[in-house]
Amino acid sequence: MTVPNTMRVMRVHEPAGRFVLDEIARPTLLRPTDVLVDVKASGVVPNLRNVMSNYGDRAYLTVPDLPAIYGLDAAGVVAEVGSAVTGVAVGDRVYINPGRSCGSCQACRIGEPINCEAFTFQGYFGFGPKSKRIYEQYPYGGFSEFASAPADGLVKLPDAVSFEQAARFGYLGTAYSGLRKAGVGAGRTVLISGATGTLGLGAVQIARAMGATRILCVARNEALLARVRALDPQRIRTFSYGSGSLADWAHAQTDGLGVDAVIDAIGPGASHQVTLDCISSLRRGGKLVEVGAMSDPLPLNLHELMCAQVSVLGSLWFSVAEGQDLAEMAAGGTLDLSVFEHHHYTLEQANEALADAEKRAGGFVNVVILQ
């Protein structure tokens, strides 16, 4: 594969500014364990503009220096491999898991890279000042023709997974990791709050693939809830939040026991009351896993949680191994990715793509930049 010396990128030159088409030098491999990926698709995150404006009151999050190349969830074809890379070859179809860690801190040494003090999303944001060094090493997001990445950050894609479907893996992987932490599987019941959203719909499909016996889907939009119910009428039950007591409904759907697990996929701006109602829907010993970044302060009665042995967990992202699980589930036919309605844009249309994503039309829509 002949790789050009330059590439086109869409960069932001000022906080919350518009994307501008630039031509820059293509990435060179920093380490012998790195690879170069010819980007074919990149997901567009609805929350990206908030990130580009330095995330408002979330000063503990770190954004790249300007001009910056954003774009989470890139997928493409390996164009070049470092001299020490094994198991990955030029021509392989891959998804770039954008989670980057330093590789040498205490968390990395014990096999918990997501807890690294420098953990960073390539093409998005980081979790502290040490992310600046990660950006220097891997500054290329998906809104570029090529991106470099460590070989151990790649998920190999079977032919059954298209690049545009892989561009949804950030949401799918986050949902999958949360479901695993919650212990969802055969014989289990799960309530998914925000089930019609980009993150929640993925959780619904993966819970089905994992064998959940009953999937209780909670949201406000009744039309979208009806579409979700139609995916699996035997196992899926839906509830329009605000139409009554969520806890009473959840207990009624589980023979009075309550659900085994809750995946809270509602985002920032939602009232904490929704999450409290979800906790009240749990059975004794149940788990709520937060994946949606609900930011309203949550008043918890810890004595009550202790007595009921209820757990509330945060789950940030997903491992490469979990991403590979998703790819294999899709290839095996247990995970159905055909439900997504892809809205395609070119690289030069990144501004239009973000405006489309910001409409938040529901989880069935997948806004993708294709190259």
What would the two tokens of residue 173 be? 């992987």
Same structural domain, 138 and 13: yes
Same structural domain, 17 and 161: yes
pTM of the model: 0.95
pLDDT at 129: 87
Contact by Cβ (8 Å): 63, 51: yes
Distance from C-alpha of 140 to C-alpha of 105, rounded to nearest angstrom: 23
Same structural domain, 198 and 121: no
Give the containing element (helix H, strand E) for 110.
Answer: none
Same structural domain, 162 and 183: no
Same structural domain, 151 and 26: yes
Give domain status of residue 264, yes or no: yes
Give domain status of residue 319, yes or no: no
Domains identified in the chain, total number: 2
pLDDT at 248: 97
pLDDT at 56: 46
Distance from C-alpha of 14 to C-alpha of 40, rounded to nearest angstrom: 26
Distance from C-alpha of 310 to C-alpha of 297, rounded to nearest angstrom: 19
pLDDT at 59: 55
Distance from C-alpha of 171 to C-alpha of 158, rounded to nearest angstrom: 19
Same structural domain, 255 and 274: yes
Same structural domain, 21 and 133: yes
Where in the sequence is the domain holding 91, given as residue range(s)?
A: 6-168+340-370
Same structural domain, 179 and 226: yes
Judged by DSSP in three states, 312 sits in strand
**Which CATH number do you get for residue 256?**
3.90.180.10
Same structural domain, 90 and 237: no
Same structural domain, 129 and 184: no
Could you report the per-residue pLDDT of 16-35, keeping only the tens digit for each?
Answer: 789 999 999 999 999 999 99
Distance from C-alpha of 333 to C-alpha of 145, rounded to nearest angstrom: 31
Same structural domain, 205 and 163: no
pLDDT per residue rounded down to tens, the chain (371 residues)? 677 899 999 999 988 789 999 999 999 999 999 999 999 999 999 888 878 776 445 555 788 889 999 999 999 999 999 999 999 999 999 999 999 999 999 999 999 999 999 999 999 999 888 999 999 999 999 999 999 999 999 999 999 999 999 999 999 999 999 999 999 999 999 999 999 999 999 999 999 999 999 999 999 999 999 999 999 999 999 999 989 999 999 999 999 999 999 999 998 888 999 999 999 999 999 999 999 988 889 999 999 999 999 999 999 999 999 999 999 999 999 999 999 999 999 999 999 999 999 999 999 999 999 99
Give domain status of residue 56, yes or no: yes
- Classify burial at 203, counting beta carbons within 10 Å of its beta carbon; exposed 0-12, middle 13-18, buried 19 or more: buried
What would the two tokens of residue 268 be? 């920032």
Same structural domain, 13 and 160: yes
pLDDT at 31: 95
